[in-house]
A and B are shown apart, each in its own frame.
Chain A
Amino acid sequence: MQMPAWWNTVREFKRPWWWKWVVWIAILAPGLLTIAGFLSDVLRDTRWLGSNPVKEGEQILGQLTIKYLVATLAVTPLRRLLGWNWLARDRRTFGLTAFFYALTHFLWYVLLDIQLDGAELVVDLTKRTYIIVGFAALLVMVPLALTSTRKSIIRLKKKWTVLHQWTYLVPILGVIHWWMSVKADIEEPIVFSLTFAVLLGWRLWYARRETSQHAATPSATSAAP
């Protein structure tokens, strides 16, 4: 199929020099602004996070986790679709960002929301399904974050790829956690569930296409651009 000329321009777009600054600001600013707003609200009686800054901040951090999971899972489809292979190195950055927001979300809940009430924590972590599911998502992310270094990739070889397929479980647990935590306003959980369905569905579709193409015409794929 003949692609228009601008498509080539898009595909040839290279990583610009300022890209890493965009990434740094994108991953740090939302969290830092949330914390700054929270501190201002509690210490100076402002309302940057509204009337209930503890709850609002907690929700913002949870939603940031979900958003950075979207970014993490969007890297590979974008590479294939746009040919932007230079995005590859941002995948780990986004994944780690999601992990740190998830960790902050959890610590926020323990320290600021339930305020170190041990009995409540135990009940929450053993009886309340949405908290168990959310905590499970965080636990799954721990080994992934710990093995995110270049060293680990080299050391674990094939095992690394298998281990990091657990990544796909995290957003599923994440949206279930979110969905179960809301009263009736499920609009946003739906939107993000659909987003993850597309991102994970694309992988299934792509994997199947790859295998079927390999099976049918093994030489044709290597000749493709």
Chain B
Amino acid sequence: MLIKQAPEYRWSQITPKDVYLNRRRFFTTAAGGLLLAATDARAAKIDNVQKGALSTTGEKLTSQGDATSYNNYYEFGTSKADPARNAHRLKTANWKVSVEGACAKPKTYDLDSLMKLAPQEERVYRHRCVEAWSMVIPWRGIMLADVLKRAEPAPGAKFVEFTTLYDPTRMPGQRSDVLRWPYREGLRLDEAMHPLTMLATGVYGRDLPNQNGAPLRLVTPWKYGFKGIKSIVRIRLTDRQPETAWNDSAPNEYGFYCNVNPTVDHPRWSQAKERRIGEFLRRPTLMFNGYADQVASLYTGMDLRKNY
């Protein structure tokens, strides 16, 4: 049939959160005591997360069903529904992420030790996709700055490069060459150190679902969503501007900065307005996605038309 099967009810409506969590506990019990302890420790932390001071207020949250079923994550397929369908193949146990490159103290972390570097916060952020749709998402995580400071960046370090896991068996989308894998992203060091920049491990009060970038993703709310690289395995400090996946794929459409900017159109569509998922009428897009007060100073004197 020509119409895609769209469930009338959302997961969140069918499965109450406590049942979902109990199911998870059941599986981990079966998997063994050590794993159980680790998962429980992280699950328990969810309740202790503090609301971040930089959390965006006055916005209605996007429904969890939409945020976990309408995703761009080409590692699991190119359609919006593919990631929720295919991402279960990614097993994220024993995840390691290395912080390396131009720094005094490179280190490989497991997730728990990484998340202990700073108090975890919940922060609501607007999320603007380059495709002119948007959401409002409650993330949970820590500031990237707290991780980078620990590594003690070298004086020459000017940029940070992020790399997604490369594993075509667990990420079937990587078998097709829609992009050059693995997915790579980059930030200027001052952008990476900005207090709005987060490394997230959770969303909607629980661990990230795989389709949202589990177990660890970047969140930069003033930039288009594709900047928020998912399933990160490497964070590398460097003196050179890193290559990024979409810039590599279509340099005339995607630059290095990717700041949300209603006055600079994508070659194929206007960026002046956006469609908030769950709403019918479009709304105007805000400069830097509404975070201009916090981030505009990072770009003083820069021609944002050229540095898109």
Contacts and interface: CB of A to CB of B under 8 A. Distances in A.
A34 to B, nearest CB: 6
Interface stretch (A41-49, A80-88, A159-167, A209-217): A41-49
B239 to A, nearest CB: 30
A37 B3 contact: yes
Nearest to A185: B78
A49 B81 CA distance: 11
A26 to B, nearest CB: 10
Contact of A52 (B8, B70, B176, B273): B70
Contacts of A200: none
A185 B80 contact: no
A30 interface: yes
Interface stretch (B109-117, B204-212, B214-222, B277-285): B277-285
Contact of A49 (B6, B69, B265): B6
B255 to A, nearest CB: 15
Contacts of A183: 78, 131, 250
B257 interface: no
Contacts of A11: none
Interface in B188-237: none
A50 B6 contact: yes
B179 A34 contact: no
Interface string B255-280: 00000000001011110110101101
A120 interface: yes
A47 B8 contact: yes
B204 to A, nearest CB: 15
Q: How large is the interface on B (under 10, 10 to 19, 20 to 34, 35 or more residues)?
A: 35 or more
Contact of B3 (A34, A54, A186): A34
B80 to A, nearest CB: 6
Binding site of A, secondary structure by majority: helix, strand, loop or mixed? helix
B199 to A, nearest CB: 26
B118 interface: no
Interface in A19-57: 30, 33-34, 37, 42, 45-52, 54-56
A10 B273 CA distance: 55
Contact of A184 (B70, B131, B178): B178
A3 to B, nearest CB: 35
Interface string B79-122: 11100000000000000000000000000000000000000000
B10 interface: yes
A172 interface: no
Contact of B10 (A47, A180, A187): A47
Contact of A120 (B6, B179, B272, B278): B272
Contacts of B277: 51-52
A181 B66 contact: no
A102 to B, nearest CB: 16
A111 B267 CA distance: 22
Given A55-B275, A187-B176, 12 more contacts: A30-B1, A37-B3, A37-B6, A42-B280, A46-B6, A50-B69, A51-B278, A52-B80, A54-B280, A67-B2, A120-B272, A184-B249
8 contacts: A47-B65, A48-B3, A50-B6, A51-B65, A55-B133, A185-B78, A185-B79, A187-B176
